[in-house]
Amino acid sequence: MASEIIVENLNVTMQKVMDKLGVKSYKIQIDGKSEIGDNYMGEVIFFTIFSADDKRVYNFVMKGAKSSEKLRSITPVEVVYKRESFIYTEVFPYFQKFIDEKNPNFEFDCVPKLYWVDRSPRKETLIFDNLKTKGFKLHDRKQPWNLEHSLLAMKYYGKFHALSFALRDQKPEVFKNFNKNLPNLFEDFSRIIKINQIYEEPFKNVKELLQKAGRNDLVNKLEFWSENLSSIFENLADENDKLVICHADCWNNNFMFTYQNNEDASPSKMAFLDFQLSIVDTPVYDLAYNIYATCDKSCLDHFDLLLETYYKSLSSSIRNLGSNPDELFTYEQLKQHWQKYSHIGIIISIVIIKLELLDKADAPDMAKLTEDGENVDDYLNVKVRNQEEYNRRILEIFTHYGDIVN
């Protein structure tokens, strides 16, 4: 069950939420919680409110920060919850205001509705609409996406990024303020987590894999990344190429889908989850991270279609919001950004694919690790049981990267 502190926080918070909704008498039923490995710095609780006033049923999700003092001493829990709160209380409402002003027919329905936010230290909480009750489902994180899932994600990323491009074009001071409030988070993480230590063992394993495959060209790139890892994460894109507000946490556990005719192969809608790591950067940060963390060769073979689908969605959405994509970001510029920045997706995926393939029993519990005095720098270096699948996925994304990037 959920921790007593989280449940107590839930009861106190829901008094305020239901009062805001005009409901005085109600019953709370806790339906479940996130599993270990799904949310490393917080706890997610699914619950239902039964109103005695109007007999309505409300389905919510509570995302609460873990209160462990040791965990907070080695991870920037407060920082990432503030970041997500800013996205939901400042950025998304302004996006909607901008849409209402420019084109009310433009749909921005790809994130769960926020009902409440509490920024109090050690009680950081967000209350969302429960998308599960609306037919949305998580994809099996152990399985790569098929082409239909990836194409839908490219369409949604195109619409999402278009709002930044149009806002940056028409309301530059507003976008400048967002940019100021969404700095790179690497400095916050690097104070307490040694990035080189996290990647030391994975880089070694990938190097051996590439050598066996005869890809010395990629070994050279890997060695360069290893020697410059902190600089890569600290600087990411050039200042002039930081064009959009990025989702920036693009592995397959941070998306939900609805499906046509209950067939899990053909998604019809998608929703983004988790904006705790959002930054302003190149659109390729999101695209490369998402594509390399969720695709295998069967999907990567259609890379041109993925990029074309993204740009078609981006350009049409920018036009629908009153700006000219030919002046803001051409398809040729997108391909140039891929050449310059797609390595970040590869580097992140070296670790992320390992997390995706973990069995539930093997997923690290960061709070427990810190309480037990374990070295959290090693928490991402847990062993996957299906090493062959990991090797296959890694070799396929590296091969694709090497064949695409000059």
pLDDT digits (tens, 9 = 90+) for 27-84: 999 999 876 555 566 789 999 999 998 889 999 999 988 777 777 777 788 899 999 9
pTM of the model: 0.94
With CA atoms as reference, report the closest residue to 290 among 228, 342, 357: 342
> H helices within 191-282, ranges in order?
195-212, 216-227, 229-235
For the cut 90, the answer to whether the pLDDT of residue 123 exceeds it is no
Average of pLDDT values for 100-114?
96
> What sign results for the dihedral spanned by CA atoms 265, 271, 272, 274?
negative
CA distance 215 to 136: 41
For the cut 80, the answer to whether the pLDDT of residue 382 exceeds it is no
For the cut 60, the answer to whether the pLDDT of residue 370 exceeds it is no
248 and 83 Cβ atoms separated by less than 8 Å: no
Going by their DSSP bridges, the two strands 279-281 and 125-129 should be labelled as: unpaired
User: Where do the domains of the chain lie, and which CATH numbers do they carry?
Assistant: 99-111+135-404 (3.90.1200)
Q: Which own/partner pairs from 14-18 qualify as long-range (CB within 8 Å, at least 24 positions apart)?
A: 14/49, 14/60, 14/127, 16/116, 17/60, 17/115, 17/116, 17/127, 18/49, 18/51
What separation in angstroms does the CA of 148 have from each of 153, 166, 265? 9, 27, 7
For the cut 90, the answer to whether the pLDDT of residue 3 exceeds it is no
- Name the residue with higher pLDDT: 1 or 148: 148
Q: Which of 78-82, 376-380, 401-405 has the lowest mean pLDDT?
A: 376-380
CA distance 4 to 393: 40
With CA atoms as reference, report the closest residue to 365 among 384, 379, 345, 353: 379
| The pLDDT of residue 151 | 99
Q: Which of 30-39, 64-73, 97-106, 363-372 has the lowest mean pLDDT?
A: 363-372
229: three-class secondary structure by DSSP? helix
Residue identified by tokens 């082409």 is 147
323: CB partners within 8 A, 6+ apart:
165, 166, 169, 170
Residues 48, 119, 186, 396, Cα dihedral to 10° = 10
For the cut 70, the answer to whether the pLDDT of residue 356 exceeds it is yes
| The pLDDT of residue 252 | 94
78 and 125 Cβ atoms separated by less than 8 Å: no
Per-residue confidence band for 384, with pLDDT thresholds at 50, 70 and 90: confident
CA distance 30 to 2: 9
Average of pLDDT values for 376-403?
86
CA distance 307 to 338: 10
The pair of structure tokens assigned to 184 is: 């790179």
Per-residue confidence band for 367, with pLDDT thresholds at 50, 70 and 90: low
| The pLDDT of residue 310 | 99
| The pLDDT of residue 365 | 64
Per-residue confidence band for 195, with pLDDT thresholds at 50, 70 and 90: confident
| The pLDDT of residue 377 | 59
| The pLDDT of residue 39 | 59
CA distance 260 to 171: 38
For the cut 90, the answer to whether the pLDDT of residue 301 exceeds it is yes
With CA atoms as reference, report the closest residue to 207 among 197, 222, 186: 222
Per-residue confidence band for 1, with pLDDT thresholds at 50, 70 and 90: very low
| The pLDDT of residue 368 | 60
- DSSP annotation string for 63-120: EEE---HHHHHHS-HHHHHHHHHHIIIIIHHHHHHHHHHH-TTS----SPPEEEEE--
What separation in angstroms does the CA of 276 have from each of 65, 194, 325? 11, 20, 28
The pair of structure tokens assigned to 282 is: 């190149």
| The pLDDT of residue 172 | 98
Q: Which of 5-14, 172-181, 279-288 has the lowest mean pLDDT?
A: 5-14
